[in-house]
Structure 1
Amino acid sequence: MSPPSHLIIVCGHAIWLGGPSKGHDESEWIIEAYKKGETPTFIAHIKAGVDLLTQDDSSVLVFSGAPTSPLTQLSEASSYHSLALSNFSPPLPTSRVLLEERALDSYHNILFSLVLFWKTYGAWPARLTIVSHAFKRTRLVEGHCKAIGFPLDRVGYVGINPPSVEEKTGSMEGNQLALGQWEEDPHGVGEDLASKRRARNHWGVGQGLFDDDGERERAGVDTWRTEDGGESLVEGGRRPWANI
């Protein structure tokens, strides 16, 4: 049987703690104040990812997101997976669902998921579909995917916005500010973006891409170690996923 070729990434935005409402009561979630009222959108993101997975036998679904709250070591990815298992039927084909539990921002949702796919299947995906907010499409596709070097003509995007997103001016302004920062620092290695990751990394989750030099060489990816112990792509270096 040939390996899968389509990577679907559902980007995490909060942590579902479990509960009888299966995520429909916001009190079951750990969310930031500005995301109040958005939990139905997170459920819609999860459902969209599950639907894509069940429609394409060549696909793999990755729930992506680290443990980002000091209140629990539960990751965003694991909580999304649990919610999917609780809410949607028929049952998920679990052999085609992966958990990426280290990403602390949207750039790493994509890059860590891409590397996890390779570590699992020994091949790079030919196609990529990202599920997140519609208003983040420019940042994730034209910003992050371009910086990572994944061909944009092989990238799909499913964008689902929170209700009345136009009224959430703080969230929208914050997203535009981050877009500007990523334009200046496309791999997020500068202090402004790195400090945001550190502030979310309450549990000291490792930020390296590969386990050792041998694995990195087998992957065929050029990287360098950042000052804070992370690992970044070398600008202009080898990107084997670009030539599938």
Structure 2
Amino acid sequence: MTPPSRLIVICGHAIWLGGPSKGSKESEWLIQPFQKGEIPAFYAHINVGAAELAQDPESVLVFSGGPTSPKTKLSEAASYHNLALANRWLPLNHPRVLLEERAMDSYHNILFSLVLFWEKFGVWPRKLTIISHAFKRERLVNGHCKAIGFPLDRIQCVAISGSKAVNEQTLEGTQLTLGQWKTDPHGIGEELSGKRRGRNHWGVGQRLFGSEEERERAGVDTRLMEDGGESLVEGGRRPWAI
């Protein structure tokens, strides 16, 4: 059987707790105050991802996002998948749908999803599709993907924002965060790694690989961090770029 060649990543932003509205009411979600009005965007991300999967038999859809709320151990990824099933956008037990439940930021949405694809299929994806907010496009593609070393000419970014206009506070926060990632592209400095630890209420493991043997088989140069994470080595091997 020919392995898949395209990775579709839906970046998680919130947690759907379940409910009779099947996610259409904000009361069913754990969201931050600045995310009010963004539920239509979350819906669109999931719906578009399911459609992209259905149209491409060589693709794999990954819902990415860890349990980022202290109120529940439910991950963003699992909650998005639950919503897709509740709305019948995906069939149960789809063989090309995976859950990446460790990412605590957008950089790791991409990197952990790449590693999960390799773990499941034994190859690295040739093409990458990222589904997220329009105002995060620059950070995701020219920030994270460039730092990770995935060829930019093999990336598609499906950028969809919600029904509300992005407010000034959100834009200011986005620009500030983008600047932080420019000076710390792998998020290993105290500021960005501290934000990641602050979201990791349930102590989810942040290493890329489960063992040294797995790391060697993957052919990726990494280093273990003091905080228990694992970082790519700048200028090291990136087998997905070949």
TM-score between both structures, scaled by the size of structure 2: 0.98
Query: CA separation in 1, counterparts of 2:227 and 2:233?
Result: 16
**CA separation of 1:90/1:228 partners in 2, compared to 1, >3 Å: closer, same or farther?**
closer
> Residue 114 of structure 1 aligns with which residue?
114
User: How far off is 1:12 after superposition?
Assistant: 0.2
Q: State the secondary structure of the residue aligned to 1:94.
A: coil
User: How far off is 1:165 after superposition?
Assistant: 2.5
Is 1:188 aligned with 2:195? no
Query: Between Structure 1 and Structure 2, how many residues are aligned?
Result: 242
Q: CA offsets per residue over residues 101-131 of structure 1, 9 Å max, x none?
A: 0000000000000000000000000000000
Is 1:240 aligned with 2:239? yes
Q: Match for 1:91: what amino acid? A: P
> Residue 11 of structure 2 aligns with which residue?
11
User: How far off is 1:40 after superposition?
Assistant: 1.5
Unaligned runs of 5+ in 1: none
> Residue 165 of structure 1 aligns with which residue?
165
Query: CA separation in 2, counterparts of 1:187 and 1:2?
Result: 33
User: How far off is 1:170 after superposition?
Assistant: 1.1
Unaligned runs of 5+ in 2: none
Q: Match for 1:221: what amino acid? A: V
Query: CA separation in 1, counterparts of 2:35 and 2:93?
Result: 30
Q: State the secondary structure of the residue aligned to 2:110.
A: helix
Kindly report which structure 2 residues correspond to 1:33-112, keeping only aligned pairs within 5 A, or say none: 33-89=33-89, 91=91, 94-112=94-112
> Residue 207 of structure 1 aligns with which residue?
206
Q: Match for 2:228: what amino acid? A: G
CA contact (8 A) 1:63 1:99 kept: yes
Query: CA separation in 2, counterparts of 1:89 and 1:120?
Result: 23
Query: CA separation in 2, counterparts of 1:16 and 1:87?
Result: 13
CA RMSD, Structure 1 to Structure 2 (Å): 1.0
**CA separation of 1:143/1:92 partners in 2, compared to 1, >3 Å: closer, same or farther?**
farther
Query: CA separation in 1, counterparts of 2:90 and 2:149?
Result: 35
Query: CA separation in 2, counterparts of 1:92 and 1:80?
Result: 13
**CA separation of 1:104/1:129 partners in 2, compared to 1, >3 Å: closer, same or farther?**
same
Query: CA separation in 2, counterparts of 1:200 and 1:164?
Result: 26
Q: Match for 2:34: what amino acid? A: Y
Runs of 4+ in structure 1 over 6 Å off: none
TM-score between both structures, scaled by the size of structure 1: 0.97
Query: CA separation in 2, counterparts of 1:92 and 1:128?
Result: 24
**CA separation of 1:90/1:235 partners in 2, compared to 1, >3 Å: closer, same or farther?**
closer
Q: Match for 1:50: what amino acid? A: A
Query: CA separation in 2, counterparts of 1:232 and 1:89?
Result: 35
User: How far off is 1:6 after superposition?
Assistant: 0.3
User: How far off is 1:93 after superposition?
Assistant: 6.5
User: How far off is 1:89 after superposition?
Assistant: 4.0
Identity between Structure 1 and Structure 2 (%): 68
CA contact (8 A) 1:60 1:96 kept: yes
CA contact (8 A) 2:84 2:90 kept: no
Q: Match for 1:102: what amino acid? A: R
CA contact (8 A) 2:8 2:130 kept: yes
CA contact (8 A) 1:112 1:209 kept: yes
User: How far off is 1:172 after superposition?
Assistant: 1.4
More displaced stretch, 35-44 vs 122-131: 35-44
**CA separation of 1:92/1:132 partners in 2, compared to 1, >3 Å: closer, same or farther?**
farther
> Residue 221 of structure 2 aligns with which residue?
222
User: How far off is 1:90 after superposition?
Assistant: 6.1
